[in-house]
Amino acid sequence: MIIIPDTHGLDFWKDAVSTRQDNEKIIFLGDYLDPHEGKINKAAFEQCFDNLCQILEFKKVNEESCILLFGNHELSYLFGWWTTFPHNFGRHFAYKKFLKKEISNFQLMHVEQYDSKPFLFSHAGVHPSWIKKYVKQKHSIEAAIEYLTISPVKKFRRRLNYLTIERGFFPKRWGSCVWLYLDDWGKIQHGKLGLDPYYQIFGHSALSNPIITETFAALDCGKAFRLDEIRGVITPL
């Protein structure tokens, strides 16, 4: 399985998908819109949108094997959160209309089962405290994950817009699965992140190099990865 973290207008995903083996699955972890903070200009915003359109074209040709996750940047336009930076305020409503039209091509999270081990893919990672508090109507972590996976994303509009204290926004202790930052994992022993029985794979927290541990992989570093479903090993492409 090929894993493509936050693109933000970058086209490294094209080289990655060119290495695809047979009908190998490909998953994008969200954040296609809005450039990185050092490249904020009109051309960069347009490049991000054009890149997203190309990714959507690829998805439609590979409907069954390509999975697109939402990131906080897309949901900020779709739900009118206005909490992301950078943000294309001049094109906010045009992006909102576009994403509403394409909403069926995206999902909030995805689970793959490899050799009895479930791998949970999301944009920012799922913190057990968030899921227990805000998806508490479900009886177990597994039931809550299934509920989040199969339900329309608009059902969680308010609960998804929970940012962490560390970001200086709202006084919610744990960010949602599109807003949680890697620093937050330190509160529950970095490197021993637990959302049993899942192995978590996510992006969102910008890194120079990936962090791959026994319980999670944080991959937002501008490159793609491959998950070997037989060995359960993640390697850069």
pLDDT digits 0-9 by tens, 104-154: 999 999 999 887 789 999 999 998 878 877 666 566 888 888 888 888 888
Alpha-carbon torsion (93, 94, 99, 100), positive or negative: positive
Model pLDDT for residues 166-215, shown as the tens digit of each residue = 555 555 567 888 988 887 766 544 445 568 889 999 999 889 999 998 88
- The pLDDT, as a whole number, for residue 172 is 52
Domains and CATH numbers, the chain: 2-236 (3.60.21.10)
- The pLDDT, as a whole number, for residue 191 is 44
Which H or E run includes 109?
strand 109-114
Model pLDDT for residues 220-237, shown as the tens digit of each residue = 999 999 998 767 788 999
Phi, psi of 42 (to 5 degrees): -60, -45
Output DSSP code: residue 206. -
Query: Does residue 67 register a pLDDT over 70?
Result: yes
Query: Does residue 163 register a pLDDT over 70?
Result: no
- The pLDDT, as a whole number, for residue 14 is 96
Residue 101: partners with Cβ closer than 8 Å, 6 or more residues away: none
Tell me which amino acid residue 64 is.
E
Query: Does residue 165 register a pLDDT over 80?
Result: no
CB of 28 within 8 A of CB of 4?
Answer: yes
Residue where the block lists tokens 């001049």: 90
pTM of the predicted protein model: 0.90
CB of 39 within 8 A of CB of 76?
Answer: no
Model pLDDT for residues 11-46, shown as the tens digit of each residue = 999 999 999 988 899 999 999 998 987 778 889 889
- The pLDDT, as a whole number, for residue 164 is 59
